[in-house]
Amino acid sequence: MKVVTHYCDVCGKEIACGPVEDVKGINIRVDLERGAFDSFVFPHACDECRKSVAAALSKWKESHSKAK
């Protein structure tokens, strides 16, 4: 597969990548209530954005777990 340049859908930074299959994204599914949900999909995301989103979600989960 040929090498393609992608840009992060979150921050716009160029993603250095090899084959197209190597590019990862972010897919967040939010359960609203009673089976209703919303999805946020960013097909191309750089490592930094993927890590910061994961850290933010982890921090949010931790703070809401303690609140119960």
Domains of the chain, residue spans: 6-67
Mean pLDDT across the chain: 83
Helices and strands (H, E) in the chain, number of each type: 1, 4
C-alpha 3/C-alpha 14 separation (Å) is: 13
Give CA 60 to chain center in angstroms.
15
In one-letter notation, the amino acid at residue 7 is: Y
What are φ and ψ of residue 54, in 5° steps? -60, -40
- Range of weakest confidence among 1-10, 14-23, 52-61: 14-23
Helices (H), the chain: 47-67
- Predicted structure pTM score: 0.67
12 pLDDT tier (thresholds 50, 70, 90): very high
